[in-house]
Amino acid sequence: MAKRAMVLGLARSGIAVSELLLLRGWEVLSCDSKERGQFEGALDEIEHKGAKLCLGEREPQRLLEGCDLLVVSPGVPLTHPIMRRAKELGVEVVGEVEYAYRESKGRLLALTGTNGKTTTVTLLGEIFKAAGFTTHVVGNIGIPYSGAVAGMTGDDVTVCEISSFMMETSSRFHPQVSAVLNISEDHLNRHGTMANYIALKERIFENQTPDDFTVLNWDDPVTRDMAKRTPARVAWFSEGADVDFGAFVRDGWIVFGTREDARPVCPVGEVNIPGRHNLQNALAATAMAMAAGVDAAVIRRTLATFEGVEHRIEFVRELDGVRFINDSKGTNVDSSIWAVRAMDRPTVIILGGYDKHTDFTPLCEEMLKYPIERAVLIGVTAKQFADTLEKVGFHHWEHAGSDFEAAIRRAFELARPGWNVLLSPSCASFDMFVDYEARGRIFKEIVNRLESREA
């Protein structure tokens, strides 16, 4: 008799894991609180392949009896009543990433952190592709791990971006090379405290062994302290220090090795993606790739040609001398600070969105140090931003409510020739958009519709 699994949450990862479970011979009950019409046909294929759909369900826990496995989407919190019911029934609970890992083949490299994950995981994937490996770049980047598993072989490489939400439901997840890029305040509305948030990030290396590597940021005191708790061998990356072992900067070069024996990888000036934060991302990718045995020449070529990722300090268009920059992936304070630091001309910034219970003071203070001339505020956190900006002495702000297009047009009106308009909300998007990618795409669509003021 086939085993039975419930999948709760039918976004991209829920659909992909439903399909993988069916492929592995499970009976699958795929559930979501949304109604069928909201999916616009996205569930037709898994239903055709045999999944039983349960849509518009507000109490999925009542359907759990008789299931052997519960696979939850990252959006399902541990406080959901189904978690308690699963424990009562003895049903194992895993996340999509955990189940996909159990079914995968080949080598796994995984990284987490508060900021820089998507850029670094994409860059690392390009390095392995350039080295000749069939490479799957998956995870929190928006490509479900489960969707790549069916075609994997033992010679493949998987590079996985991991969020703290994903680690809440991990148990066996075991990368051969893991990394924690940095830690700053984020997702406290979900995790409650920084201690909980940090502990979840550390779960990425909890199953590693002394034969594996954990890559950590020497320049971040929180990640530096993690070296005490990883069972794996530590490889550091650092912009400012010669580390015991890892990737660091010496005499204008990215090098890898020990203080006494470090081999050159790439001149800092050849790294194609701009900004100090991207140098850190390049160092992290170098440390992970070198720890996995990739040749330095391959890494150098990739660093010199990699153009970055969509929605992260992405140039969109110049109109009437105003440059529009899409940083919709700026979903927390630290990420937006790096975007502000990258501005080399007077800038109008668009701020605000979903409330993650974050203190905006560090960003507002940073805006005083860089050429941020005006702020246009949107979304649920607009008032909180306004109060914080006033508190630090930044008075050139105005509200645009929940009208995203009006906010963009107003920012354009405020900007003068030679200025930037920067979307870097420092917040998640869920009050107005499906996700940060949708917010970034709509920003670009609106910007590309704008007409010259000189016409």
Output the 3-class SS for 411-453. Answer: HHHHCCCCCEEEECCCCECCCCCCCHHHHHHHHHHHHHHCCCC
Within 8 A by CB and 6+ apart from 86, the residues are 61, 64, 70, 92, 93
Phi and psi torsions of 441, nearest 5°: -65, -45
Helix, strand or coil, per DSSP, at residue 364: helix
Helix (H) or strand (E) holding 372: strand 372-377
| Residue written as token pair 């995870």 | 139
Maximal C-alpha separation, the chain: 72
What pLDDT sits at residue 454? Answer: 77
Pairing verdict, β 245-250 and 233-238: parallel
Q: What is the pLDDT of residue 262?
A: 96
Instruction: Return d(Cα 334, Cα 219) in angstroms, integer.
Output: 15
pLDDT in tens, 79-131: 999 999 999 999 999 999 999 999 999 999 999 998 889 999 999 999 999 99
Phi and psi at 155, nearest 5°, equal -95, -5
Mean pLDDT by 10 residues, the chain (455 residues): 92 96 97 92 96 94 96 89 96 97 98 91 98 96 93 97 92 98 73 84 97 98 97 97 97 97 96 88 98 98 92 91 94 90 94 89 96 96 96 96 94 97 93 90 97 82
* Cα-to-chain-centroid distance, residue 148: 18
Pairing verdict, β 322-326 and 314-319: antiparallel
Domain ranges of the chain: 4-96, 104-305, 314-449
Per the rule left: phi > 0, alpha: psi between -120 and 50, beta: everything else, 98 is alpha
Distances (CA, A) of 62 to 32, 84, 135: 13, 12, 40
CB 54 within 8 A of CB 8: no
N-terminal to C-terminal alpha carbon distance within the chain: 71
Q: If DSSP codes are grouped into helix, strand and coil, which group holds residue 213?
A: strand
**DSSP bridge pairs for 250:** 253
Query: Does residue 256 sit in helix, strand or coil?
Result: strand
From 173, 176, 231, select the one nearest 200 (Cα to Cα): 173
State both tokens at 357: 């219970």
pLDDT of residue 340: 94
For 368, counting Cβ atoms within 10 Å of its Cβ (0-12 exposed, 13-18 middle, 19+ buried), the class is exposed
pLDDT (0 to 100) of residue 220? 95
Residue 303's closest CA among 317, 313, 288, 315?
288
The whole-number pLDDT of residue 193 equals 86
What confidence score (pLDDT) does residue 188 get? Answer: 61
The confidence score (pLDDT) of residue 311 equals: 87
Unique residue bearing structure tokens 């992970």: 288
The distance from CA 369 to its chain's CA centroid, rounded to whole angstroms, is 27
- Residue 275, Cβ neighbours under 10 Å: how many? 17
| Integer CA distances (angstroms), 53 to 10, 266, 352, in order | 10, 52, 36
Q: Say how far apart CA 154 and CA 176 lie, in whole Å.
A: 14
pLDDT of residue 185: 64
Check whether domain 4-96 has CATH 3.40.50.720, yes or no: yes
Domain 104-305, CATH among 3.40.1190.10, 2.30.130.10, 3.40.50.720, 3.90.1150.10: 3.40.1190.10
CATH code of the region 314-449: 3.90.190.20
Torsion angle of the four alpha carbons 387, 343, 315, 356, in this order, in degrees rounded to the nearest 10? -30
Phi-psi region of 341 (alpha: psi -120 to 50; beta: other; left: phi over 0): alpha
Cα three-residue angle 131-137-142, rounded to 5 degrees: 160
d(Cα 30, Cα 53) in Å, to the nearest integer?
Answer: 5
pLDDT value for 187:
57
CA dist., res. 387 & res. 115, Å (int): 25
